[in-house]
Amino acid sequence: MFMANKRHSASFNPELDETYGFMIDANNLYGGIMETEWLSLSNFSLIEGIELSEVLQTPPDSEFGYILEVDLKYPNSFRNLHADFPLAPVKKISRDEWLSLHQKHLKRRVALTNSGTQQKLCLTRKRTHYITELFNYMCSLDWKLQAYTGF
């Protein structure tokens, strides 16, 4: 728990530095990004013979964007780091062999069955032919996902 040490509070301790708390309540994050970021709508075309290095030079506010088909390597060590915000998620039905021993134990304990419902999953294994927008691909590179082939 955080406790501010403000000069005018009853619990102020003059032997400690003054500290202040700041809370940010972020609502409508999806709607906000939809107002500020470009979204590809039409005039799609296949471009061949362009180098990935050239595509990566595209500024975020460019009139043109790219949708890439890439192969990614997602190291197992990133699982905990990306638990709340997985990069390159896939929409699949989870399989029992993907579960940890603890998850399998919990599944048996509460008698869960696979519902057959697709979910967005962060699978820490390589992805082949992954379709992504350029900005998402660049974020993945910033977060150290490894592109092991071009597009």
Q: Could you count the other beta carbons within 10 Å of the beta carbon of residue 122?
A: 16
The answer to the question of residue 47 being in a domain is yes
Segment 28-53, tens digit of pLDDT: 766 776 677 666 777 888 888 888 88
> Tell me, what's the pLDDT at 30?
67
* pLDDT for residue 143: 58
Q: Cα-flanking dihedrals φ and ψ of residue 97, to 5°?
A: -70, -15
Residue 8: which pLDDT band, with cuts at 50, 70 and 90?
Answer: confident
DSSP state of 142: H
Is 72 part of a structural domain of the chain?
Answer: yes
Number of domain units in the chain? 1
Q: Looking at the predicted structure, is the pLDDT value of residue 144 above 60?
A: no
Residue 62 lies in a domain: yes
Q: Is 134 contained in some domain? A: yes
Q: Model confidence over 59-72: pLDDT tens digits?
A: 877 877 888 888 87
pTM check: above 0.95 = no
The owner of tokens 């005039």 is 43
Is position 51 within any domain? yes
Residue 102 resides in a domain: no
Inter-residue contact 70 to 146 (CB < 8 Å) = no
pLDDT in tens, 69-127: 888 777 777 767 766 666 777 777 777 787 788 888 888 888 877 666 677 676 666 77
Is residue 20 domain-resident?
no
Across the chain, how many H-helices and E-strands are there? Answer: 4, 5
Residue at 60 is within a domain: yes
Residue range(s) defining the domain that contains residue 68: 41-90+123-147
